Amino acid sequence: MLSVNDAEAIILNLVQPLDAQRDIEVVDLLTANNRILATPVTSLLDFPHWDNSAMDGYAVRYEDVQHASAEPVILEIIEEITAGYQPKSTVQPGQAARIFTGAVIPAGADTIVIQEKTRREENRVFILAAPQPQEFIRHKASFYQAGTSLLPAGIRLNAAELAVLAMAQCPQLNVYRRPRVAIFSTGNELVTPDQPLQPGQIVDSNQYALAALVKESGAEPILLGIIKDEPDALQEAIASAIAKADIVISSGGVSVGDYDYIDQILESLGAKIHIRTVGMKPGKPLTVATFPTQHSSTEAINGVCNPHFALYFGLPGNPAAVLVAFWRFVQSAIKKFSGVTEGWKPIFVKVRSHNELRADGKRETYLWGKLHLIDGIYEFHKAGGSHSSGNLINLAQTNALAILPIGQTLISPGEEVEILQVSN
């Protein structure tokens, strides 16, 4: 068995991100949320576009007001300048302009006196305290200078980035296409949620969980349904999956049972198997394979053209093991493949354990639960009930996995534990 860290290193070394030339889509700004920027963005605009006021008050010449104190300085108001208005006058000695937040600084003025430090009488303003030189003026290009890098490639576009791009007047963007991830479940016992259960049958929950997780990771799920434990059917499904997807995820059929055919079928299709088992609980059976890179258009696997690299994850069939394996390995692989340059690695945090945590110490053990903020300190609260790989029920509403390394059998309440954060 490989260690968890060694398995992770192998998987991430296998992942080659999408190509910045070949794998690009052009999308509108309003549809770009959660997409990965494929090319750097620069703007022809300075930010701010012009000198403007940061406060409501009066635009003045500093030399006129620098000695204002108990003896006010009296200035003539020559103009009122609102946001969006182009000033018409130049502030001369002894003059001021009424100005509002965001408005353009008039020629001749170099300082803003906030209105709280003034008193107005008709067309005169009394400056009651001296400001600092150039106080409350936002200078042109002080936030960003036109022509320099605004946003780099490889970042995920969320609200703040989209706001910046809107201000920069970038209505369309080059983003990476979404990775295509094919998903299927294996097992003669599986049925869909809309079918009545017969004795011995099990509802396929894995496909729904994996589809949701793939979407959360920024990829496009391709659902291939339930495949029977029959070599011909499985071979056809795998060949079809690797032809249409960048990454394939199957659940079930990767252990050592008489009907676990996945590994031998992968090898028959020309795959190289890099991982077969990992020293973790749950999730020990884990197949990771790759198919030949860059087939020509005339080559095919089992009669289906495969013009690209494909990465295959054969996950266990037990639902808790599927989720743990995805969070630990597959999620970071999808994110790295998507073209994002950072933020694709799993997030590990050390917190205090609320409960006693136990493991047999033979494999790296993952226990699911929830993070709670208690008196300003995060605590891990283990989910109640059985932590069997077949128990899906108590995984609901969890957001963290506590990790007990090999050799550690006990973490007492109040002791520190490393957790893998799996959702916000």
- Distance in angstroms (rounded) separating the CA atoms of residues 93 and 299: 82
243 burial level (CB within 10 Å; 0-12, 13-18, 19+): buried
Say if strands 285-290 and 272-277 run parallel, antiparallel, or are unpaired: antiparallel
Residue for token pair 């003034």: 118
Structure tokens belonging to residue 192? 């869909």
DSSP code, position 287: E
- Distance in angstroms (rounded) separating the CA atoms of residues 123 and 395: 70
Total-model pTM:
0.89
Question: E strand or H helix at 266, and its extent?
Answer: helix 262-268
- Distance in angstroms (rounded) separating the CA atoms of residues 15 and 123: 70
DSSP strands (E only) in 293-415: 300-301, 304-305, 311-315, 347-353, 357-358, 364-374, 377-382, 400-404, 410-411
- Distance in angstroms (rounded) separating the CA atoms of residues 182 and 247: 6
Nearest residue to 11 via CA among 283, 406, 244: 283
pLDDT reported for residue 261:
86
Is the peptide bond between 131 and the residue preceding it cis, with omega within 30 degrees of 0?
no
pLDDT reported for residue 292:
77
pLDDT reported for residue 423:
78
pLDDT reported for residue 294:
44
Determine the residue type at 349: V
CA distances from 373 to 44, 246, 379, 424 (A): 45, 39, 6, 13
Domains along the sequence of the chain with CATH:
4-18+177-337 (3.40.980.10), 24-42+154-176 (3.90.105.10), 52-138 (2.170.190.11), 347-421 (2.40.340.10)
- φ, ψ at 239 (rounded to 5°): -60, -40
Nearest residue to 422 via CA among 320, 338, 339: 320
Per-residue pLDDT 10s for the chain (424 aa) are 899 999 999 999 999 999 999 999 999 999 999 999 999 999 999 999 999 999 999 999 999 999 998 899 999 999 999 999 999 999 999 999 999 999 999 999 999 999 999 999 999 999 999 999 999 999 999 999 999 999 999 999 999 999 999 999 999 999 999 999 999 999 999 999 999 999 999 999 999 999 999 999 999 999 999 999 999 999 999 999 999 999 999 998 776 665 578 889 999 999 999 999 999 999 999 999 999 754 433 344 444 444 456 999 999 999 999 999 999 999 999 999 999 999 899 999 999 999 999 999 999 999 999 999 999 999 999 999 999 998 999 999 999 999 999 999 999 999 999 999 997 6
Q: What is the CB neighbour count within 10 angstroms for residue 16?
A: 11
